[in-house]
Amino acid sequence: MANRVCPFWVGYILASPIRAYFQNPRKILKPYIEKGMTVLDIGCAMGFFTIPMAHMVKYDGRIICLDIQDKMLTALKKRALKDDVFEQIDPRLTTNEDLGISDLKNQVDFALAFAVVHEVPELNSFFSQVHQSLKSEAKFLVAEPKGHVSENDFAQTISVAESAGFVKLGSPAIFRSRTILLQKKGNN
């Protein structure tokens, strides 16, 4: 898959409230997120999913927000302050090689990568790092845009995830998305 990073200005479109009519974060994530959880939001951009997740985990939980663009994280911080959830978020600038989550080994309850995996240049390392951060039995939802990611490319993504130690649980229906719900099995 090509390494193509979403331009900063597209972040405004992705964070639009209109998008919630088609991809409502609370409806999509309700089965997976509870109060007090530690959640990993990979490719958080300006916080379309981050802000609702912060409300879902309440003050007992936290959202670790990862993005490769500092401008996205700056916009996310402003939105989080405005929405009174800044205390629940931990924004982190990542690189193509390192997600910057080695301090989270076996600590994350749930991870989300929404419309971001197709931008990752090294999938083996990506899935390995996420796997290490998750607690045993934790779930990881991956959703990719059908317009950008072919069935073949998505099947390859799933194969790499399985090689990293994830098992498939299902494919939740999300508007215009290819999805896979993964789980970290056992203590591996």
- DSSP-based three-state secondary structure for 95: coil
Which of the listed CATH numbers 3.90.1560.10, 3.40.190.10, 2.60.40.1180, 3.40.50.150 matches domain 24-184? 3.40.50.150
Instruction: Give the per-residue pLDDT at 185.
Output: 85
Instruction: Give the per-residue pLDDT at 11.
Output: 46
Q: Name every residue whose Cβ is closer than 8 Å to that of residue 100 and which is 6 or more positions away in sequence.
A: 66, 92, 93, 94
> How far is Cα 64 from Cα 42, in angstroms, rounded to an integer?
8
Instruction: Give the per-residue pLDDT at 187.
Output: 62
Instruction: Give the per-residue pLDDT at 18.
Output: 62
pTM above threshold 0.75 = yes
Q: Would you mind telling me the total number of residues written for the chain in this entry?
A: 188
Run of H or E residues at 93: strand 89-93
Instruction: Give the per-residue pLDDT at 147.
Output: 87
Tens digit of pLDDT at every position of the chain (188 positions): 345 656 554 444 555 666 556 779 999 999 999 999 999 999 998 899 999 999 999 999 999 999 999 998 999 999 999 999 999 999 999 998 999 999 999 999 999 999 999 989 999 999 999 999 999 999 999 999 998 899 999 999 999 999 999 999 999 999 999 999 999 987 65
* Cβ–Cβ < 8 Å for 47, 11: no
DSSP at 43:
T
Run of H or E residues at 75: helix 70-82
Residue 125 CA to chain centroid, in angstroms?
Answer: 16
Instruction: Give the per-residue pLDDT at 47.
Output: 92
